[in-house]
Every structure is written in C-alpha cells, then in structure tokens.
Copies of this chain bind each other. A is one copy, B any other.
Amino acid sequence: MNDARRYCPLPSPFAMKRGGDLRGAHVAYETWGELSGARDNAVLILTGLSPSAHATSSADDPAPGWWEAMIGPGKAIDTQRWFVICVNSLGSDKGSTCPASIDPATGEAYRLSFPELALEDVANAAHIAVTSLGIERLACLIGCSMGGMSALAYMLLHPGSVRTHISVDTAPQAQPFAIAIRSLQREAIRLDPHWNEGHYDNTRYPDTGMSIARKLGVITYRSAMEWNGRFARIRLDAEERDEGPFGREFEVESYLEGHAQRFVRNFDPNSYLYLSRASDWFDIAEYGHGSVLEGLKLIHIEQAMVIGVSTDILFPLEQQEQIAEGLRAAGAAVEFVALNSPQGHDAFLVDIDNYSRAIGGFLNRL
C-alpha cells in the first residue's frame, strides 16, 4: 500500500506566492511507464481538489486509481508510450506537505499557521518534482478541474517547460458562482463547532461541516439532467430510510449521504479549506493587466486541446472557450472539444468513452 508513492523534497525555504515560506516541505507523486532516453515522453497530470497522486493502478499499488479507465497500457494515456507523472498538490493531505503536516519550527501540526496557499505554489512545487526527474520539457501537461488552473499557472510561470497541453473542465479565473459555492462549503466547515478554528482531532472532528461541504460539492459536480434519468423521484425502501423527522426518503438523498460518508474522514478539513480558497484566488487576468485573454497570451506552447461540458455549472463551457481562444491567440494550435455529457463537471471521471476518444486522439497524433 502506497509502495508506488514517491516524495520530492522542495527547496528549503520554499517561498509562497502570497508571503511566508515552508521549510523541509515535499510533494508526493507517482509515475507509470518509462522515461525515454531523450526524456521527451513525459506527461504530467495535475489533479482536482481532492484526488491523490494515485491516478491509476500499478504493480506497486494495485488499488484502482481515480482515473483508472484513462491511464494504463493501451489506454488513452498510454503508459507503454508515455512516462506519466501525477503530483499530489502542495497543501493536500494525500502525501504532500499540508496544514496537517508537522511544522519543523514548532514540532506541532501547522493547522492555520500554514502559510496562505495559491495555485501558483501548487504549480511551482509540481514543476520542482518534474525537474527532479531530469525532465526539462513535458511532452504534455494535463490539468483537470482545479488542476487545470494549476496547469495554466505552471505554463505561465515556467516558460518552455511544456510542449502541449490538455485542459479539462477548468477555468482561467474563478467566477462568482463558483466562489459562492466554495465560500459556502468553507463556511459550513468553519461554523461547525468541532472545527474549533482548525484545532480538531479524531474525537472532536467537524463531521457535520465536512458532510454539508461534500454534499454541496457533489450537487455542483453533477447535473440535473443526469439525475432526472438516474434518480427521478425514486423512494428509498423503508429499511433504508433514516429515523427521525425530515430524514432521508428519496434515493438522491441517499446518494449524497453515501458520498459524504466516504469523504468526511478521508480529507483533512484544514487542507480542504486552503485548497478551496486557493481556487477562489486563481485569476490569470492578474498576469494580463486585468484581462483573461492577455494573461493566457503569455503562455507559449505548440498545441493544446481544451475540453468542456455543456452541463458543467461550476466550470461553464464559456470558460473553456476563453482558454481555447487565449491559447490560440498566443500562437498554439488549439482543438476545442465541447461535449454534451449529461454528468456535469464530473464527466471527465465518468464519460470515459468521450474523454478517451478526445485525449487519446490528441496524444496519439503527437
């Protein structure tokens, strides 16, 4: 278990974008396939808020990864051809230094003394992991959801480090609807008395806040259209309903509860707050004198594929179009793929047929 996980130390101190630094920090990553002699076949994947670096299974860790259907021998991201790397975001508790890590200066967990985290820091840490493997230039950088924003930061801050890019269901800046959702998720956690300004433990843990945050997340990651077909107004059997007034009655409520139960104790609440806020802060327009387009025009790569879904309410298709337009204006050959998958933002994890065809097709043509 976790035999596949590797760790890359970060320079100490590691300076953070918004001030402060980390000492003795590291990021976790996994790799699949073999790096070619010319070191020109590396594909880096940057993840959404909650996934670990375990994107797919391997001999060292046979547990299914979060993008198992997409990555492997003969799959869309073919590990017989590509040397695939997935880095766990700095600030995530899935192996990288995060608010739950011990601060070497105090011997205690950072909690809220962790410095403010930006996706630019996530990108810089991932870039250090890639260069530590002797890779100067990625054949392709793939970013999904929050990882797509980290990927834009990566390409902007490290010119020449990326040849091609696949942008998946993401945004060049956080818009107010997404900010509102994430702000409310954070508030649900912060208002849980067990959060206790970040000083929870296993006996007093903000289960309630985390559960509400996760359910709200799941609601915005999927789509009404999918649920009409999947759940309609199906009721739970009597023995599946919970007791007490206003308890679960419809199947959709049970589905949300299942998602919450699996998440609540499996993600550090403070790390969640830091990564969530980093997403709100991201705005490529900061680099373009207030213009998203001008910010994107600072990114110089050869080719890109930008994929989005019409049913995504968190990262709407218009934002994918903006990314495609900006990268094209910067000189890249850009393919824009607008899908009608019913699954909403999560389509990249579910509609494997369409995403495989697009991503596999792009990579095969390189």
Contacts and interface: CB of A to CB of B under 8 A. Distances in A.
Interface stretch (A51-59, A224-232, A297-305): A224-232
Interface residues of A, number: 51
A250 B283 contact: no
Interface centre among A112, A208, A277 (most CB of B within 10 A): A208
A186 B256 CA distance: 14
Given A176-B233, A183-B253, A212-B187, A246 B224 contact: no
A175 interface: yes
Contacts of A179: 233, 250, 252-253
A198 B212 CA distance: 20
A277 B283 CA distance: 39
B253 A219 contact: no
Candidate in A179, A249, A273 with the most chain B CB atoms within 10 angstroms: A179
Q: What is the predominant secondary structure among interface residues of chain A facing chain B?
A: helix
A180 B246 contact: no
Nearest to A250: B179
B173 A227 contact: no
Interface stretch (A19-27, A144-152, A189-197): A189-197
Contacts of A228: 175-177
A181 B313 CA distance: 14
Interface string A183-214: 11011101101000110000000001001100
17 contacts: A174-B233, A175-B227, A176-B224, A176-B228, A176-B230, A176-B251, A176-B252, A179-B233, A180-B215, A180-B219, A180-B256, A184-B216, A184-B219, A187-B212, A197-B244, A212-B212, A246-B277
